[in-house]
Each structure stands twice: as structure tokens, then as C-alpha cells.
Structure 1
Amino acid sequence: MRNLFFFVIIFFTCNNIFANAYPITPRPLRKLVIESDAAIVGKVINVTDKIYEGKKKKRVYYPLYKIAKIVVIDILQGEVKNDTIEILFQPNMTCPDSDRYYEKTSVIAFLDINNGKYSTHALSYGSKTLDSVGISVYKRRINEIQKILKITDSISKRTETIEWLVKCAENEVTSWEGVFELRDYKEFSNSSKNYFYQDLNAEQKARLKKAFLNSLKGPFYDFNLSDLIYEENKLEIDNILLERLKHLSEDDYYHADEYIDRLKYKNSSEEMKTLLKRYYEIRFEEKDPLERNKIIVRIISLIDK
């Protein structure tokens, strides 16, 4: 009987964990504003293990669960009655990716409120650890989209939304928030081809290209931003991609697939097909990377012909 009881406890514990282990739909900033009960700027003062005070004053620790205690500095939307709130989260959960909070950091948190208890809306998308500059940028964008969402005329609302998305995309702090929706998201119409980027004007496209070129000064390549402007800048972006790939160090070859995926169309030879097949089989193997590295070097030479 004791073994059965133990099995039942393990089953329901694991079942609860696995039930939450699935990806969720990405939530860019506009969606977070629409869906969340509240949003705050806060200061994380401490992060502790979840503790259950059992019978006979026995304390049971749950190290997989953490509790973030956050001082509310500013309320950006909704109603938060507490000066200090607590949020339970699972930092080791990766699919979907958990919200995370770190001691002595500043955050913007989008909240769900249920019976006076707070949780992060949309997990990792709803918790944003930021410096003072990042918080200032996010606060402006949040205030702007809140006003845009109140517009009743659908054409004006769409026009203002697109401009707002461009503002997000051209600032490195909020770039993903804008690029994600400009590339992939459709709304305000039943058309299957109602992507926001189709209605970008020439001035907005020029701003996005400038933002992309400015991003090249940093250490990382913004594939999402270059994909957004690719159709009108194919040759220029292909050349940039190829140069970046050629100068990628072997230590960073695990990033090579992003470049190769975008450039492989430039050579359709049988040799390229054979190399690509083998490359995709072994590209993430780190124990013996020599074969993979040789294949990447040869793929680069074929692309560069």
C-alpha cells in the first residue's frame, strides 16, 4: 500500500510537469498588452525556493519552483493593489520556456491575476529583465499601443499599428517585438495574404533597412530583420550573409546553419545536394566536429563560385 501511495504521488507530480511541457504561441508586445490583466515595472528584491509549511511545522522545499518577490515601482496597465507581489515560476522548464526573475534586477512583467495571486502571462514572453534604457523604451511603446488599440476605425488602426511595429523593429531593444509581427502576423482581415509588411511604405522600408545596417555593427547577426527586408535587397543581403559565413570562426560553426539555409539556393549542383544531406545529419554533433567543419568549408566554396 505504501508503494502504491508513493507511485500515485510520483505519477501526479510528473503528469503535472509534462502537462505543461509544450510550446506556446509566441507573444510579441502588442499581444501581451491585449491579453494581460496587468503590467508593471518592478524591482526583484529576492528569489527563494518554494516552501510548504506542513503539519507539525515540517518545512518541505520545492527547489524546482522559485518565488520572486517584486516591489511594484510603476503600474503600466490594469490594477495591482499590492506594493509588493510574489510570482511563482519554474526556472528549469524549457519547453515552453519559463518566465525567469533574478535578484536585484529591474523587470517589466505582464501579469495574470487570479483570486489575488499573480502569475506571468505567456511565461518567458511576459517577463522582461531590462536596464533603465530598456524600461524607458518599453514604457513608451506600451503607452503608444494602448492608445492605438482604442482606435475604432479599422483602416486608421491598421496604419497606426504598422507604424508602431516599425518603431519597435528599428530599436534594438524592441526589435523582435516588431519584426515578428511584420513578418508573420495577420489581422484585421480574412485574407490569407494580409501580412503587415505588404503595406509598408517606402519611408518605412528605408528605416527598416537602416536599422538592419546599424545592427551589423554588433557581434550578432539579426536574421529576422534581414529576412524582413530581403526581397528588395537580395544581392546586398546575400553578400553580407556570405561574408559573415566566411569569417565565422570554427567555434561558432553551430550558427552556420542559419547562413547556409539562406544561401544554399545559389548552388544546386549534385555535390552541394550530397554535402547538404550529410551536413544536416551531423550539424549539431559536437563530440567530433571535424567532418562537419570540412563540409561547411566546402559548402562555402560552392556558394562562392
Structure 2
Amino acid sequence: MRLADLALLVRAPAALSVPGDVIAGAAAAGRPLGVRTLGVIGSSVCLYWAGMALNDYADATVDAVERPERPVPSGRVPRRTALAVAGGLTAAGIGLAAAAGGRRSVGAALPLAGLVWAYDLKLKSTPAGGFAMAGARVLDVLAGAVVPGAGAPSVGVALRRAAVPAGLVGVHTGTLMALSRHEIGGAPVRVPVATLAVSAATAVATAIPGTRIDVASAGNGRRSSAAPSWLVAQFPAPLRGVVGAVPSKFRTAVTAAASLAYLGTYGTAQARAVRAPSAENVRSAVGAGILGLMPLQAALTARGGSPAVAAALGVVHPLARRLARRISPT
């Protein structure tokens, strides 16, 4: 078994869509991007890869007919190996969460892992499947919000602050799940029409300016439209006044640009599926939606008050699209 086959099994490049969930949640809660947050990102990536491996284990019989080129039905990865990979990555994900954020992060990682396994083994073909997958993405965002540390808000406050970005990511995931049910046989035109309308509404809701939390004052809920105080403190005293007065227009501009990029990628692919809802176009829309989550995450991160981090997420998106040409995210 080759390493390349394992990369195909877990859809390795698609994991680039995961860090933005955690980062958007952290930004909404007023948390800087630190070591603990990076640890939670690693945990979420492991759980994402676990879900992909478990998916191919559970779907081996179906894939033998519909997608025989995948690693398990083609025989390049034994089915039992796919299950072992899923189990190992799940354990690694929960372990990383415990190391990075203790009980708070494990409290998000355990239900996330449970949803992943329940979806792949039981819920996928049921009406609850879409809700389970959307719930997994919601938990991913909330995992970023509850990362502990100096000045971190209480769990309740963090969850309230991250509710909007988590909900928008969940809605986006719901559109993906609606489309993914028609990847093999094509879709009735009403399906991409509906998902495109929801995606447009999601972009508009994301672009509406939010109120940023000052990271240094996250615990007492003080809000600010200036640069975070932790960032201002990194500059020499004569420059702090300038940096601290970074206009909210920059944050709004980055949010709007990322929202447009989201529609420009995922929306365009859905529009093609509206014109011709073939299986090929629906699969393309699903792939675009998986990676199109990244500009949505960037918009939500900027909306939460971290436009520089959002810009970095935007840079990663083209890289993920290039990698997806070599390893399909679906």
C-alpha cells in the first residue's frame, strides 16, 4: 500500500477546508491564533480524515459499483485498513484536543467524533444525514470558540459569540449535503436552484458587518472596532496609535471580498448545475462547495475582527483548488 493511496483514502487536500472553521470560531470569540488553537486545528483535521477513511470503509460495497476507482474497492487499500486508519485518526484527534484545550476542547471533540462515526455508519442514507454533517461543521467552529487560555471567555459566552458563524457554516454544509445525494444520477433542477439561493443568502448574511470582540477584553465582553489590543502591543509605542486606529472599513472590505469569492466559486458551479443538472455538474458543484467553504471561513474570520488572518486563508484557497485537481475532495 502506497502513501499516495492513503492520501486518496482520506482526501488529504480537502482537509485544508478544516482550519478555517476553528479560526472563524476563535475570531468570533475574540481569541488570538495561538498554540492551543493550532492544536485544536490539528484535532479537527484528524477527525476529518478519520471520517473520510470511515466513509470508504462503510461504502465499500456501493463504491465497487459506483466508484470502483477509489482505493478500497480497487483493492489498493484493504477495507480493514481503512477502518484502522479511521480509528487511529479518531484517537489522535481526541488526544490532540485534550492536549491543546483540556476538558473544554475534549467537550467539543467527543461529540464531533461521535457525529462523524454515526454519519458514516448509520445516518448517511437517512434524512438525518445532512443534519449530522452540518452539525459536525458547526461543532468544528464552536471548537475554535471554546479554546481556553488567558482572558478566554466562559464557555457559554464563547458559544454565544460563535453562534452566527457556526450557523452559517452549518447552512453551507446543508447545501453540500443536498447536492451530494445526486452526484451519481444527476439532480432535479429544483435542487441546485434551491442550494444556489441559500448560498447567496449565506454570502449576504456573512457580509453584514458584525461587532468585533477585543481579545484582551474578551472576558468582560468589551467590544471594539479598532485593531485587537494584543496586536497593537507588538508595535513600538509611537506606532500604536496608528495601528490601533485601523479603520473598520478594512475589515468590511475583506469580509465583502471573501464573500464574493465564495459566491464566485461555489455559486458559479451551482449555476452550471442549474443550467444542466447532470451528475458531472453536480459533482463539480459539490467539489467547489467543499473548497468554497474556505472563502466563506475567511469572510467570517474577517467579520470577527481578524482580517489579516482572513487574508491568509484566502491565499490558501487557490492552492487547495490546484491540489484538488490531483486528489478529488469528494
Structure (1/2) with the larger helix percentage: 2
TM-score by length of 2: 0.28
- Which structure has the larger Rg over C-alpha atoms? 1
Greater length-normalized contact order (CA 8 Å, ≥ 6 residues apart) = 2
